[in-house]
Structure 1
Amino acid sequence: MIGHFISRALDAIDALIDALSAVALILVTAIVFLNAVGRYFLSFNVMGAEEASRLLMIYLCFFGAYTLLRRGGHVSVDVVTLLASPQVVRVMRGLVGVVIVLVMGFLAKASWDLVAFSAGTGQMSTTLPVPRYLFFLPAAIGATLSTIAGIEIVIRAIANTLRPLPNAAMAEAEAASADTGRPAEDRKG
């Protein structure tokens, strides 16, 4: 019951991150485009544009890493999972969850320490009027969320309620059928 509540809460966080990531990607594109147009055609540079786009990309990377982790979308060697029994796959995914908890837990602790130190010094960004710790905050939040996602993976592995991994072979077949306009099973031969 509590695991279901945690999964639903993480699903809501995923939806929020997806929406914010879409806005951030649009902003990065607009900032870089406007800065390039200004620099090359209008002879002016938008002050802080590069730093703002870098900051948004840092948030995109660390938050995106968390959402990909929850969806099973990170690059992996899936030949082992294709050949192994479901029980072995469950154990392997549980062990991967333990490694995620350990590594991301360490990164979260180190990142939160860096955020606290940077906030304590009162440093400001070079060109943007924002505190410097905002550049370290996405690593801390992303690693914390990834640690929680790793705990969820371990709990689901123990409870045998793991979500199915994305099927790369099926996605390729669907993409190929979309290209030809025919279902994949109709194109044999």
Structure 2
Amino acid sequence: MRILKKAEDVFVGTALIAATLVLFVNIVLRYFFDANTTWAEEFIRYAMIWIAFIGSSICFRRGIHVGVDLLINSVSKAGKKVLQVYINIIAVVFMIFLIKFGFDLVIFSMDTGQITPSLEIKMYWIYLAIPVGAILSIVHIITQTINLLRNYQTSLD
């Protein structure tokens, strides 16, 4: 699990740095040298897609996804844990749909042979961010749920 955590963090950090550098270089080229790279905007767009989906799994791992605390704060301590387990189950179901439809999109893109206009890479590499991010999210949600249930059992003893 530690390796997965490190890989996610390194990937997102590297992608953010790369996108920022490409954006900076493109701005300098455009405004100071009246030159422009055709691939920069496309690279940044696709990097941000991967950052968003892998970043989503990082948010699940850290428990920092946006949520509505009003309901959770209005129930007892035991009720919070039960409610959190139900929320995690719903999140896993949603992620399963993302995986299914994400893989459908990847397979469709592979069958049609779509490529990106400027970078000329296979489009399925971009679409692959959806199921990969969802799978990583499920791993973190299940891990959190197991930890929550273990803590729940020890707190009832």
Normalising by structure 1, we get a TM-score of 0.74
Structure 1 equivalent of residue 47 of structure 2: 56
1:85 Cα deviation from its structure 2 partner: 2.0
Residue 34 in 1 paired to residue 25 in 2? yes
Equivalent residue letter for 2:98? L
Q: The residue matched to 2:91 in structure 1 has which SS?
A: helix
Q: After superposition, what is the alpha-carbon deviation per residue over 1:52-99, rounded to whole angstroms, capped at 9, x for unaligned?
A: 001110011000011101111011222443343221011011001100
**1-structure distance, mates of 2:142, 2:108:** 27
What is the aligned partner in structure 2 of residue 118 from structure 1?
109
Name the SS for the 2:114 alignment partner. Answer: coil
RMSD: 1.8
Deviation at 1:155, TM superposition (A): 2.9
C-alpha deviation, 1:161, in angstroms: 5.9
Matched residues, number: 153
2:129 maps to: 138
TM-aligned CA distance change 1:52 to 1:157, over 3 Å:
same
Q: Choose the corresponding residue for 1:158, options 134, 149, 153.
A: 149
Any idea what SS the aligned residue of 2:38 has? coil
Change (3 A) 1:128 1:88: same
**1:94/1:153 contact within 8 Å kept:** no
Report percent identity of matched pairs.
34
- Counterpart contact for 1:66–1:145, Cα < 8 Å: yes
CA contact (8 A) 2:81 2:152 kept: no
Deviates more, 1:112-121 or 1:143-152: 143-152
Kindly provide the amino acid, as one letter, of the partner of residue 77 in structure 2: P
Counterpart of 1:73 in 2: which secondary structure? coil
**Residue 59 (structure 2) aligns with:** 68
Structure 1 unpaired stretches of 5+: 1-8, 163-189
> Higher relative contact order at CA 8 Å, sep ≥6: structure 1 or structure 2?
2
Rg (Cα) greater in structure: 1
Distance 1:150 1:106 in 2: 15
The TM-score, its normalising length taken from structure 2, stands at: 0.88
Q: Does the 8 Å CA contact 1:91/1:157 hold for their aligned counterparts?
A: no
Structure-2 change in CA distance of 1:118 and 1:161 (3 Å): farther
Per the alignment, residue 93 of structure 1 pairs with 84
